[in-house]
Amino acid sequence: MSSLPPVLKAPPFEIASGSFPTFFIKPETGLSSLALRELWEYRELLYFLTWRDLKVRYKQTVLGAAWAIIQPFFMMVVFTLFFGRLAQIPSDGIPYPVFVYCALLPWQLFAHSLTESSNSLVANERLITKVYFPRLVIPISAVLGGLIDFSIAFVILLLMMVYYGIRPSWAVVTLPAFVLLAMVTALGVGLWLSALNVKYRDVRYTINFVIQFWLLATPVAYPSSLIPLRWRALYGLNPMAGVVEGFRWALLGKSGGPGALLAVSVVVVILILIGGLYYFRRMEAEFADVI
Amino acid sequence: MSEIAIKCEGLSKQYRIGQQERYRALRDVVTGAAGFPFRRLRSAISSSNGNGNPQSEIRESQYIWALDDLSFEVKPGEVVGVIGRNGAGKSTLLKILSRITKPTKGGAEIHGRVGSLLEVGTGFHPELTGRENIYLNGAILGMRKAEIDRKFDEIVAFAEVEKFIDTPVKRYSSGMHVRLAFAVAAHLQPEILLVDEVLAVGDAAFQKKCLGKMGNVAREGRTILFVSHNMQAMSQLADRCILLADGRARFDGNTAQAVALYLGDETNARTPLGEYAAPKEKAGNHIAWARVHTSESPGIHHWGEPISFEFGLRIVDPQESLCFAFNVRNSFNYNACYFWLFDSETNFGREPGTFVLKCEVPKLRLYMGSYTITAWLSERRGDTYFEMVRDICPFQVSMTNMPRNEYDWIPELSTYLEDGSWAPIERVS
């Protein structure tokens, strides 16, 4: 059976001589792989989404990036006034303003990254329902976005250290590791919360609440030396305790290595992250239908 | 090149009805679990009160299959259209193939990089400039930065927004916005392109340009699967068409046939074949009923047979110079024939009553396809329209009565088949 008149059509030519990638689309079955390799292939999208968030965040603000400094700076002022001066909370022999600001930096990085990543999936609903890409890109880019603010606020810390004549020891080279730990903590928890947030919108309201509690449980305004020694390692169950103590140790040098506390924190973070990754991947298939 | 670009096997997707309440609050889960023992009691109470809310019970238990056991294959370089009413499963199909959502049952195999375009301008941010959005949107659609760099000028030129490229997109007109978004998408170069109804946007001129661009893409040998309600675009672009109905493939094959079938279904759903009756509440001078007397069963006519069109006019307000006319329209809403009758020729509106107007055509030459009638009643002197009824009395012309052995008849070969005969062949050299 053929047709009349012949339909004009150019002969199809080969687009690429190499083999085509093949995808198999199947129903969701139990545990899926983490597909981290695919994530790597989408690294440019990760970059663009992070860049978009930063650009948009400061586009219509008068003070722009100054906001990155204002928040931790004023928190430092308030903390110094109430906890340092009035409550006379010890600070391991370090001037209280530096002591608290040094902890506020990783804390802000963590709190900001956690909030952003938890809300990230819901905020990017349009993308999720219209385009395919590894969904992990979204919470990861939300966490990365906090890094710029952190870097800006970090400059103030350097100035304060100069002012108080604090010279960091060789331990300062470990600082990036603690920054990473703070971000991974935020990501690990953020993965759980963002995936839960898609299904249960209550999560959005609990985030602020969780962060406030977490701040009190973290040695930001007080040193962890207030905790009895035998409980100290257990305190590391809060990974941010490990991060904050690590920061003080790396930059201010006074409070001895974080040791066992840090080890516990690292283990906890790894567990949260792996759990979060698997939970996220498991829920991923449903995102577009439920969001 | 592999033999197959897309292969679907028994693809099925189930959705819960009541998707408008899509996400749940944790509260619902908690109260749901806690309230379970009381539910029976509560429903007993509410049913005795007669004002209970049984909907929530129904909603939990009802599911629909948006796609139901769909299987098909697409070869590399093929351009396949997907048509069907709203809710037939077209968008679900594209969503599954572009891996946005997973099927409930069945599976698919895709050979090649997939670019999907379910919406133009996904991820466009109003605060960002045109330039920034090109990069962002390109990255979202799966383009590499180097690739966007290379095509940047071409994209800007295609969108015709050179002057505004560093202006935030929120200051763009909606037309500019769409043009820019489509321009980025049009420069996507995957082996397989999935497109959902993107031609429904933009002004006519730009739509034409997009059609041209998509046609080029097709000619470059890329595989395209696209959904559209624009039947004209469908016939221009697709060689093959899948008609979906209730998540199943009702038809898979020649585009023109699929389109005719789809448009036929559409009219069938509204009116019975070959007949029309005015709603009872209709007042004033109007067309009370209409009927097409086809040669075969109601609504089916064989080419070349006599046909007649009958109209009942109810005149309540007599006029001096009434005018009655009707068109026969084909499935592209193209007027194929025109018939008219003036009161000055034959009186039908000078006194109240119901008049039967019957128009006989001894030999209907219209080519095979689906047709409808659009009729109107007007008055010339006062220049008033009394009535216009559109797309009534759907009927089909078939050519099964005159099979051709060499070549099967295919739709849209022509609008008419005229009587013509060939003179005896002379050999001149």
Q: How far is B265 from chain A (nearest CA, A)?
A: 25
> Would you say B290 and B310 are in contact if contact means Cβ atoms under 8 Å apart?
yes
Over 80: is that where the pLDDT of A20 sits?
Answer: no
β-pair type (B240-245, B248-254): antiparallel
Q: ω into residue A5 within 30 of 0, thus cis?
A: yes
* Domain presence at residue A21: no
Give contacts of B116 with chain A, Cβ < 8 Å. Answer: 131-132
Q: List pLDDT tens digits, range A108-147.
A: 999 999 999 999 999 898 888 888 888 999 999 999 988 9
In a domain, A9, yes or no: no
What angle separates helix B174-186 from helix B204-219, to the nearest 10 degrees? 0
C-beta of residue B226 within 8 angstroms of C-beta of residue B237: yes
The answer as to whether A192 is a domain residue is yes
Residue A42 lies in a domain: yes
Cβ burial, residue A157 (10 Å; 0-12/13-18/19+): buried
User: Scanning the structure block, which residue is given the tokens 């409550």?
Assistant: A87
Interface of B with A in 123-162 (CB under 8 A): 123, 125, 127-128, 132, 135-136, 139-142, 144-145
Per-residue confidence (pLDDT) for residue A256, from 0 to 100 = 63
Nearest to residue B190, comparing CAs of B113, B137, B100, B118? Answer: B113
Tokens 């797309």 found at:
B391
Paired tokens of A188: 């690990």
- The answer to whether residues B99 and B258 touch, using CB atoms and an 8 Å cutoff, is no
**Residue that has been written with the tokens 């030129």 in this structure:** B157
CB B220 within 8 A of CB B186: no
- Residues in chain A, how many? 291
Q: What is the pLDDT of residue A175?
A: 92
Residue of B nearest to A6 (CA): B413
Question: What pLDDT does residue B118 have?
Answer: 82
Q: How far is CA B355 from CA B310, B326, B338, B428, in A?
A: 10, 16, 20, 60
Can you tell me whether residue A168 is helix, strand or coil? coil
Residue type (1 letter), A74: F
- Residue A237 belongs to a domain: yes
Place of tokens 């216009």: B388
Number of domains into which chain A is organized: 1
- Of all residues in chain B, the one with the smallest CA distance to A54 is B128
Q: Residue length, chain B?
A: 429
The 3 state secondary structure assigned to A203-270 is: HHHHHHHHHHHHHHCCCCCCCHHHCCHHHHHHHCCCHHHHHHHHHHHHHCCCCCCCHHHHHHHHHHHH
The predicted model scores a pTM of 0.70
Tell me the one-letter amino acid at A281: R
Nearest CB neighbour to A288, from listed B27, B101, B132: B101
Angle, helices A137-163 vs A67-79, to 10°: value is 60
pLDDT tens digit sequence for B151-206: 999 999 988 888 899 999 889 887 788 888 888 887 887 888 888 876 555 566 67
| B262 dihedral zone (left: phi>0; alpha: psi -120 to 50; beta) | alpha
Predicted complex: ipTM over 0.85: no
For residues B68 and B15, give the distance between their C-alpha atoms in angstroms, rounded to a whole number: 11
Q: Say yes or no to pLDDT of A180 above 90.
A: yes
Q: Is the dihedral of CA A265, A267, A270, A272 positive or negative?
A: negative
Beta carbons of B228 and B236 less than 8 angstroms apart = no
In chain A, whose CA is at the least distance from the CA of B123? A127
Question: What pLDDT is stored for residue A107 in this prediction?
Answer: 95
- pLDDT under 50: residue ranges of chain B: 1, 19-22, 37, 40, 43-61
Burial class (CB in 10 A: 0-12, 13-18, 19+), A87: exposed
Nearest chain A Cα distance for residue B268, angstroms: 28
**Domains present along chain B, CATH in parentheses:** 66-267 (3.40.50.300), 275-398 (2.70.50.60)
Contact A16 B191 (CB under 8 A): yes
Contacts of A52 in chain B (CB under 8 A): 125, 128, 132, 136
pLDDT number for residue A85: 85
Q: How many helices (H) and strands (E) does chain A have?
A: 11, 1
Q: Are A258 and A242 in contact (CB under 8 A)?
A: yes
**pLDDT score at B200:** 54
Kindly report the average pLDDT of chain B as a whole number. Answer: 80
Structural domain harbouring A107: 36-290
pLDDT for the residue A143 = 94
- Tell whether A189 is covered by a domain: yes
B113·A20 Cβ contact <8 A: yes
Q: Which of B109, B122, B407 faces A130 most closely, judged by CB atoms?
A: B122
Query: In this structure, is residue A13 part of a structural domain?
Result: no
Q: Enter the tokens of residue A231.
A: 């409980």
Residue with structure tokens 């969780």?
A210
Q: Name residue, tokens 């949260």.
A: A272
pLDDT tens-digit series, residues A47-56 = 999 999 888 8
- The reply to whether A11 falls in a domain is no
Q: In what order do the strands lie in the sheet with B275-277?
A: B275-277, B286-293, B307-315, B353-361
Q: How many CB pairs under 8 A join A and B?
A: 142
